[in-house]
Amino acid sequence: MTDERAAQAPDAPEPPRAPGPDLRFLSAAAARAAGSRQNSFYSRFVRAMKLVLPAAAALLLGAILLWPQLQAEKNRFQIGLSGLDPRHPDRLRVLNARYRGTDADKQPFTVTAESAYETEAGSHTVALEAPAADLALNDGGWVIARAPEGEFDRDDEILTLTGGVSIFHDNGYAFATPAARLTLHDGRAEGDQPAEAHGPAGEVRGEGGFVIIDKGRRILFKGKSRLVIRPGVNADAQRP
């Protein structure tokens, strides 16, 4: 009997459950946090692009303007791009510039510089830092000219050296002058300031300027000059 009443008794009511968290509120908070992070990232990205894009555009524009002028069918100007020069922010500065060409005798010459930049936008003249010119001679010899500063006219292949010029010939002669203008196609150099040369056979100094012809085979000193010949040396055999 007891079992029958127990079987017929209604089920006991379940205890009330605690209210769960408001998932809608949590979803809204998470969305706001994600949106805040996204907005912060987007703001930083926009600020970075405002700095990067103008610089990249300037580099690209400079490379487009400068590159065709540095390339030629028979001559090559090899450069390593370094970006904008902090001293001249409107100019594109390049590193390890190298220009190769041939003179009137089909002998190669090379102009190198630690860095280079255009003197003016669209100009054919390039300003050089620590330039050097290496000229090959018909007999297998060489001549090297160096200076702290210079300018190179790519059209006429004229190299102007300033700041103290040193010219070396492979037979032992050295030539020094404050400034010189080298016409590379003709193997000619000249200047209006005092110059001096010294080598195995002696030394000579001119106060009114100089002219170097045929890559050093002839040197003419202008104005008052002084020549010292060392005895016992065949000057004809040792001259440039």
The CA distance from 206 to 190, in Å, is 12
Phi, psi of 154 (to 5 degrees): -70, -30
Q: How many domains does the chain have?
A: 2
Same domain (yes/no): 121, 233: yes
CATH code of the domain containing 120: 2.60.450.10
Domain's final residue, options 31, 51, 70:
70
pLDDT tens-digit readout, 54-76: 666 666 666 555 555 544 444 44
In single-letter form, the type of residue at position 84 comes to L
Residues 6+ apart with CB under 8 A from 143: 134, 135, 137, 167, 168, 169, 170, 215, 216
Same domain (yes/no): 60, 127: no
Say whether pLDDT at 84 is over 90: no
Same domain (yes/no): 148, 60: no
Same domain (yes/no): 96, 198: yes
Say whether pLDDT at 90 is over 90: no
Average of per-residue pLDDT across 132-158: 91
* Residue 4: inside a domain: no
Task: Specify burial of residue 131 (Cβ count, 10 A radius: 0-12, 13-18, 19+).
Answer: buried
The count of C-alpha atoms lying within 13 angstroms of the C-alpha of 101, restricted to the half-sphere facing its C-beta, is 23
Q: Which residue from 113, 128, 122, 133 is spatially nearest to 68, judged by alpha carbons?
A: 122
Phi, psi of 201 (to 5 degrees): -90, -15
Same domain (yes/no): 35, 105: no
* Residue 5: inside a domain: no
Say whether pLDDT at 240 is over 60: no
pTM: 0.61
Same domain (yes/no): 32, 93: no
Which of the four pLDDT bands, split at 50, 70 and 90, describes residue 230?
A: confident
Which of the four pLDDT bands, split at 50, 70 and 90, describes residue 79?
A: very low
Average of per-residue pLDDT across 21-28: 50
Same domain (yes/no): 182, 93: yes
* Residue 217: inside a domain: yes
In the block, residue with structure tokens 């450069």: 79
Q: Cβ atoms within 10 A of the Cβ of 166, count? A: 15
Q: Cβ atoms within 10 A of the Cβ of 199, count? A: 19
pLDDT score at 91? 65
Say whether pLDDT at 136 is over 80: yes
* Residue 199: inside a domain: yes
DSSP 146-191: E-SEEEEETTTTEEEEESSEEEEETTS-EEEES-EEEETTTTEEEE
Same domain (yes/no): 150, 65: no
Same domain (yes/no): 62, 143: no
* Residue 9: inside a domain: no
Its domain, for residue 93, covers 73-238
pLDDT, the chain, mean: 75
* Residue 194: inside a domain: yes
Helices vs. strands in the chain: H and E counts, helices first: 3, 17
The terminus-to-terminus CA distance of the chain in angstroms comes to 139
Quote the tokens at residue 209.
């300027």
Which of the four pLDDT bands, split at 50, 70 and 90, describes residue 18?
A: low
* Residue 11: inside a domain: no
